[in-house]
Homo-oligomer: A and B are copies of this chain.
Amino acid sequence: MSIKVIVAGFKGRMGSTAVEMVKGDDELTLAALLDPFAAEKEVDGVPVFTDKADLVGFDADVWVDFTIPAVAYENTRFALENGFAPVVGTTGFTEAQIQKLTDLSKDKSIGGLIAPNFAIGAILLMKFAAEASKYFPDLEIIELHHDKKKDAPSGTAVKTAELIREVRESKRQGAEDEMETLAGARGAEFDGFRIHSVRLPGLVAHQEVIFGAQGEGLTLRHDSYDRISFMSGVNLGIKEVVKRDQLVYGLEHLL
């Protein structure tokens, strides 16, 4: 039984990539496309809609949403009301909105996913890093990005550090009397451990968490080369939400 998928925001960069992904998976069927700016009536036999109201009663299982913050909440609510399990990559939801949508999903017994990050590898890295920090409280994070990136450390590094802080026994690392002869050498301090940000042309988005203990080391590294990597997370989301009866926030809850 193929899963029938609607893609909302199909003319955008992420939306169009999602369309290709759905088409390329035998377990999925592209059922409908939605975009207010679409001029065509169908694409390769798949009906195109410009107004979501026309999708009331439509036969589909999952609503993939890569639209814009201004409409994503309303879209997700609409999906749940109409029996489509939402898989949403659009950002900008408030906590209150997520709570309302979760409650609605429970009422309707429909699964769903809102995910700020669809990169399975990045999420596994965070999860493993947090788990390892229980046993190896001495660690440092090195994140490496292209040299156009303005902020340091990266949002992913900070998120990783926060997840580690939740489970790691807090400790101040390094020699008690350590001293920087060049300011900044030891990186940014976070809960007693250090975060280093490398910026170089040619790099895309990479992160290493290095753990050290007496006589051993453990290193976890994620390399992200291309946004195409998000699609395996979207794919996983589609296949999981149809088995669930409640919306979750964060892909990690489906792993």
Residues of B within 8 A of A214 (CB): 201-202, 226, 228-229, 231-232
Query: How many subunits of this chain does the assembly comprise?
Result: 4
Q: Which residues of B contact A140 (CB under 8 A)?
A: 198-200
Secondary structure at chain A's binding surface: helix, strand, loop or mixed?
mixed
| Chain B residue contacts of A199, Cβ below 8 A | 140, 173-175, 178, 186, 194
Alpha-carbon gap, A180 to B151, bound state (A): 6
Tell me how far the C-beta of A183 lies from the nearest C-beta in chain B, rounded to whole angstroms. Answer: 6
A196 lies within 8 A of chain B by Cβ: yes
Expressed in whole angstroms, the Cα–Cα distance for A184 and B194 within the complex equals: 9
In contact, B135 and A147 (Cβ under 8 angstroms): no
The segment from A40-48, A96-104, A120-128 that touches chain B is A120-128
Interface, chain A (partner B; CB < 8 A): 119-122, 124-125, 128, 131-132, 135-136, 138-140, 142, 144, 147-153, 158, 173-175, 177-190, 194-204, 210-232, 236, 255
Instruction: Give me 21 A-to-B residue pairs in the complex whose CB atoms sit less than 8 angstroms apart, sorted by A's number.
Output: A120-B136, A121-B136, A121-B213, A122-B216, A124-B218, A152-B181, A173-B199, A174-B199, A180-B197, A182-B189, A183-B184, A184-B186, A186-B199, A187-B197, A202-B212, A202-B217, A202-B223, A202-B225, A213-B232, A216-B226, A219-B220
What 3 pairs between A and B have smallest CB-CB spacing? A200-B212, A215-B226, A215-B229
